[in-house]
Structure 1
Amino acid sequence: MAKIPAELRLIIAGNHEISLDRKYYLNEGGVEATYKNCLSLVQGPESLATQSGITFLEEASTIPENIDIVMTHGPPKYILDTTPDDRSAGCEHLRIAIERTHPRLHCFGHVHCGYGAQRIKYESKGDIICAFSREWVGRNQAKKKGYACLPPNSAQSFRDDRGQTLMVNAAMAGHEEDMGNMPWLVELGLETKVDNLEVGTFNGSGMTVSAELHPKQHE
Structure 2
Amino acid sequence: MKKMNRMGFSDGLLLYGILGREQALSNEELVSKVKSALAGGCDIVQLREKNIDSATYYHRALLLREVTREAGKKLFINDRLDIAMAVEADGVHLGQEDLPLSQARKLWPKGLIGITVRDATMARKAELAGADYVGAGPVFAPFSKQLADKPMGYEGLQEIRNHVRIPVFAIGGFDATNIEGLKTTGIQGVATIAALFAQDDPQKNAVELKKLLS
Provide the TM-score with structure 2 as the length reference. 0.34
Q: Which one has the largest radius of gyration?
A: 1
* Highest RCO, 1 vs 2 (Cα 8 Å, sep ≥ 6): 2
TM-score normalised by L of structure 1: 0.34
